Structure formats: structure tokens, C-alpha cells
Structure 1
């Protein structure tokens, strides 16, 4: 049974994965991109963004 918020997409080749990572990082100002690997294969990529506000 899959989690209701998870999304499954077809496997990516190395070029597609590189393009995906580049697009996730391109506009990211503060945050992280996390890559999960199982048995030598990338199985999940997460992008976490932070919004920072100036002090008053």
C-alpha cells in the first residue's frame, strides 16, 4: 500500500536524473536536495525549501 502523498514516476536514466537535479537546484536559495539510494539506484529525490525573513 502506498502513502497517499507519495508520487511514483518511471525510472530515470543518468541524463534525466542530472537534468532533474539541475532544475531542483537552479532556483533554490535556501534549502536542501536529498537523494535516496537503494542498492546503487536512485529511488527518491526530495527538495526542501526554507524561507528566510529579515529581522525587524
Structure 2
């Protein structure tokens, strides 16, 4: 098991990556994949909202 003090740089890296992933995201999801208590992957899915014109 990893010492909590040794995880601090990893937490900062995850936090920085999350901020970057969310910076330009208006609609969508950010998903974390965790293995053995550590974040190993960040997935970003962006949704594009389209304005539909009403039918006449």
C-alpha cells in the first residue's frame, strides 16, 4: 500500500488534469477510472447542443 504522503504529487496531477478537462466543457461528462485506489484514466465526453428551428 502506498504511503499517503507519497500520493500528494499524484493527487495534484489528477486535480490539474480534471481542471484542464473541464475548462472548455459546457455540456458533457468527465469520468475517472480507478485501479487499486489510483486514478489511471480520465475520459471526457462532450455533448453539442443544437438549436432546432421550429417547423412552419
> Is the TM value for this pair above 0.5?
yes
Aligned to 1:55: 52
The answer as to 2:43 corresponding to 1:40 is no
TM-score scaled by structure 2? Answer: 0.72
Q: Find runs of 4+ consecutive structure 1 residues off by over 3 angstroms.
A: none
Structure 1: where are the runs of 5+ without partners? 1-11
Aligned to 1:3: none
Root-mean-square deviation (Å): 1.2
Q: Deviations over 1:9-53 (max 9, x none)?
A: xxx711111011001111100100000111101111100011111
More helix by share: 2
TM-score scaled by structure 1? Answer: 0.72
Structure 2: where are the runs of 5+ without partners? 1-8
Q: Secondary structure at the match of 1:35?
A: strand
